[in-house]
Amino acid sequence: MPAARAQGTTARLDTNENLVIPRSAASAALAAARRAVDVREYPDGGAERLAAAIAGHVGVPARCVVVGSGSDQILDLAVAHLLARRSRVLVTDPTFSFFEARLALHGMRAVRVPFGPDMAVDMGALEGAARGADAIYLDSPNNPTGFQFPERRLRRLIRSFGGLVIIDEAYAAFAGYSLAAMARAQENLAVVGTLSKSFGLAGLRVGYAVMPPAMARAFASVIQYPYPVSSVSIEAAVASLGERGAAAAREAAAAVTSERARLVRGLSAHANIEAFPSQANFVLFDAGGSHRQVHRALAEQGISVRLIGRVGGRRGCLRATVGTREQNSRLLMAIRDIMG
């Protein structure tokens, strides 16, 4: 969380924001919102224009799209109202920490399948564990590993599973594929997305999900709040989803992908570090036993990365957001100094 960052932090590489997309892209969208919005009025209740703009961007019918105040809110409502009480929910270990916290809050039981030391999940083990679960949640790409589940095996798992499957694609803009189109007609599937990462709009809090029409109708008219997204966020997001905004998002995603490869190479060049391939806008790396020292030493230089700890049997992992070229170079130089 930004508030928890040490004072003097100059490179914020711990919350997977999109720092690569130019700030001017969002400014233009905010200016458009300022002209369009009269905040004395309530927003468009169903946020239909926003849902339609997202549907156009994703390439699905608008009747399949619901929106929320960040994808966090959509995930929370899904756990609270789409799952039966005390459901056994299949997740990986690790997974998005907020989701696990919501499962606990709502009295659900997590069935965990661990990552291996190669930072991949054994799909056979996942399929086996699914037989003992009522629902499935997978963040694909996964936070914090950056692993994206193999597409064909994942599609097969969804088709063969009897309960609700939530696929969280917060980072899909940086990945190889998306299952959003599958959710149009797959009656047990909800694919969750966000404009926080792809469009660099984390502060606006605009998330969405693609679902079959019947699920979307129930979600939007019964489960969701009356005005889930502010009028300023609606208008700025609609403006961002236009041609210029979408082009800026695409360019940023391409820049993130090439910088990500540079970070993985640069980090892995150190004998005591292993960086794992990622399909997201962050890189997980194992610093062996020295992850705490590395974390502290980076903080002293104004660079914040996320302390993750044990993952997949690895001793001490850190997660760094892929930042601008200059920020990534600073991170690599700082690590070089620290590792000697």
Q: What is the DSSP string of 194-205?
A: EHHHHSS-GGG-
CB of 23 to ligand PMP, least distance (A): 17
List C-alpha distances in Å: 172 to 138, 142, 154, 194: 13, 10, 14, 9
User: CA 151, CA 139: separation in Å to the nearest integer?
Assistant: 13
Nearest residue (CB) to ligand PMP, 78 versus 334: 78
Nearest residue (CB) to ligand PMP, 301 versus 321: 321
CB of 74 to ligand PMP, least distance (A): 8
Let me know: does 281 contact 174? Beta carbons within 8 Å.
yes
Q: What is the DSSP string of 39-80?
A: TTSPPPTT-HHHHHHHHHHHTS-GGGEEEEEHHHHHHHHHHH
User: CA 225, CA 291: separation in Å to the nearest integer?
Assistant: 42
Nearest residue (CB) to ligand PMP, 194 versus 304: 194
Nearest residue (CB) to ligand PMP, 67 versus 331: 67
User: What residues make contact with ligand PMP under the rule CB under 6 A?
Assistant: 16, 70-72, 96, 139, 143, 168, 170, 194, 196, 202, 207
Nearest residue (CB) to ligand PMP, 170 versus 284: 170
Q: Which residue is nearest to ligand PMP (CB)?
A: 70
Q: 259: which 2 tokens?
A: 């910088």
Nearest residue (CB) to ligand PMP, 231 versus 233: 233
* Bridge pairing between strands 165-168 and 189-194: parallel
CB of 69 to ligand PMP, least distance (A): 8
Which residues, including other chains, have CB under 8 Å from residue 309's CB and lie 6 or more apart? Answer: 291, 316, 317
